[in-house]
Amino acid sequence: MKLLTGAQFKELDQYTIEHEPISAIDLMERAAKAIAEEVSKRWNLQTHFYVFAGPGNNGGDALAVARLLAEKGYRATVYLFNINQKLSEECAFNKECLAEYSNIKFHEVRDQFSFPTIEPKTDVIIDGLFGTGLNKPLNGGFASLAQSINKTNVPVVSIDIPSGLMCEDNTYNDMSTVVRATLTLTLQLPKMAFLFPENQPYVGELKVLDIQLDMRYMEQAPTNMYLLESNTARKLLKTRNAFVHKGNMGHALIVAGSFGMAGASIFCAKACMKAGAGKVTIHTPKMNNDILQIAVPEAILSHDFDDDIITGAIETSSFNAMAIGPGIGKNETTAIAMRDFMLQQSLPMILDADALNILGNHKEWIQDIPKFSILTPHPKELTNLIGRCQDSYEQLTKARDLAIKQQLYIVIKGHYSIICLPNGIVLFNMSGNAGMATAGSGDVLSGILAGLLAQGYSNEAAVLLGVHLHGLAGDFAAADLEEECVTASDLITYLPKAFKELRKKQA
């Protein structure tokens, strides 16, 4: 699904108005009803709502919500900020509708304003000051108002987007003037800013409300940003021919492990086998032999000459895919061996973990990475490659630039893992959860990707399907075990359930 900009959300509203057809005020009423219904499910009639409305359509939404809550029997105190004495047409209409409600105390603020006393035990704030059209930081009185809201110890419900937060790029925003919502009720689709970790304290709990906008608009909306959901991933999943044998299902090479880090090679190899590779060979130091023979008896072992570290590359032309990096360490001899593997350029390659740390220490080697390789950094590993960034949006921009320049697939691992394609398209993966923040999780992802590549999936199909399956396995694990209890081994255990889920939807 396409991820829209703030300007495109406005176009989506207008498209709906023209093609449903529906009037702008009726569309606002539809949105307000969805918001009021969700709010009334969460708070009882003893709750007193303080509604802060801006002069635009986000304010119009807030005024309509106040009226609908009043109709349900709630009390509300409403502040409409009309400093420039210029309201949008829909906001002005909803202002007039409030006059007949005795359980609404209405205040139109045109100059001076004193922040009310709000009781934490009984009161809730509804933030409808500014929506997705904001393109500069809040300043002056509105900045002070946002800061005053943040100082209250009460729940804050933001309509569509927390006021002060910009829809995409907040690199140069003044985050001290952004409303910190407890709950954000966003309309129709999530906004890009919600997908970045540093914005979570402002978004709070996120709920997307379907207000039946005309999604035919999405077909024509130009974008290079997408959400990666199961309906996309399932289309990439292949069906096995009934007469295949292990030789048809690919031979993956896992270059992993060092003394004390055998676990990384175990996770990677097990995930690779579980993802469907016909054969897996692990190239690893001799010290890991007994551990791996017991832990992964299905795998073939290729021993490095050294007991403790990887010191040399092996010939790779007989393999179908390779993952290198988990647990190999950053020894300079290992670094040279890794570069020798890269220079062979004979098969699809995943670079993860210490392979990325080595590249961070030898940035001149980045140009030697084979085209269309898959890099799977977490944010710190990515920083070593592209330099320090002010926020996730800047990091995404630099990662996308690197993916285009070097023709790579770059996966920025996180709650919403970000996949940058060589053609400039960016996808935010919508599976996965906080329980996956556990040692070995990335090794499992590398193994899944290697297993898919070995079977003949294209690099693009493997990265999209693999990242989504990895997150889906994490979701099933967390559902059964709770997020705190999920380990890397659990991700492998639940990977079959993730495959089964996609196949079920495929059918």
Residue pLDDT, tens place only, 118-129: 999 999 999 999
> For residue 476, what are its two tokens?
């099933």
CB 12 within 8 A of CB 160: no
Torsion angle of the four alpha carbons 494, 499, 500, 503, in this order, in degrees rounded to the nearest 10: 170
Predicted local distance difference test score (pLDDT) of residue 310: 98
Give the burial class of 46: count Cβ atoms within 10 A of its Cβ; 0-12 exposed, 13-18 middle, 19 or more buried: exposed
Report the half-sphere exposure of 83 (CA within 13 A, side-chain side): 9
The two structure tokens encoding residue 309: 């570290």
Q: What is the largest CA-CA distance in the chain?
A: 85
pLDDT of residue 60: 98
448 vs 470: CA distance, rounded Å: 8
Nearest to 97 by CA among 80, 114, 116, 115: 80
Ranges of the chain whose pLDDT falls below 70: 505-507
CB 132, CB 10: distance < 8 Å: yes
Handedness of CA 331, 332, 333, 338 (dihedral sign): positive
Which residue bears the tokens 């040399």? 312
The encoded tokens of residue 480 equal 């059964």
Q: What is the pLDDT of residues 420-459, one digit of tens each?
A: 999 999 999 999 999 999 999 999 999 999 999 999 999 9
User: What single-letter DSSP state applies at residue 198?
Assistant: G
Phi, psi of 331 (to 5 degrees): -55, 140
- Domains of the chain (ranges plus CATH)? 6-223 (3.40.50.10260), 230-506 (3.40.1190.20)
Question: Which amino acid is located at 178 in the chain?
Answer: V
Structure tokens at 63: 């005024």
How much is the pTM?
0.96
User: So what's the pLDDT on residue 507?
Assistant: 60
DSSP state string for 272-312: HHHTT-SEEEEEE-GGGHHHHHHH-TTSEEEE-SSSSS---
Beta strands in 136-215 (DSSP E): 156-159, 183-187, 205-209
Per-residue buried b or exposed e for 248-285, using 16+ beta carbons within 10 Å of the residue's own CB:
ebbbbbbbbbbeebbbbbbbbbbbbbbbbbbbbbbbbb
pLDDT for 75: 98
Q: How far is CA 472 from CA 455, 463, 495, in A?
A: 20, 14, 8
Q: Which helix (H) or strand (E) holds 145?
A: helix 140-151
Q: Which residues contact 354 (CB under 8 A, 6 or more apart)?
A: 325, 326, 327, 328, 329, 330, 334
Q: Note the pLDDT of residue 506.
A: 64
Q: Please count the other Cβ atoms lying within 10 Å of the Cβ belonging to residue 299.
A: 23
Kindly give the residue spans of alpha helices, DSSP state H, lying in 52-139. 57-71, 89-96
Identify the burial level of 163 via C-beta atoms within 10 angstroms of its C-beta, where 0-12 means exposed, 13-18 middle and 19 or more buried. Answer: buried
| The residue type at 283 | H
In contact, 487 and 311? CB cutoff 8 Å? no
Residue 505 confidence (pLDDT): 66
| Residue 65, SS3 per DSSP | helix
Classify strands 75-81 and 48-53 as parallel, antiparallel or unpaired: parallel
Q: Please report where in the chains the tokens 């002005």 appear, as a residue.
A: 92
**CB of 21 within 8 A of CB of 59?**
no
Burial category of 65 from C-beta neighbours within 10 Å (exposed 0-12, middle 13-18, buried 19 and up): buried
Q: Which residues contact 136 (CB under 8 A, 6 or more apart)?
A: none
Q: Which two tokens stand for residue 505?
A: 């939807």
Exposure on the CB side of residue 349, measured as CA atoms within 13 A:
27
Residue 134 CA neighbour count, 13 Å, CB half = 31
- CA–chain centroid gap for 430, Å, is 6
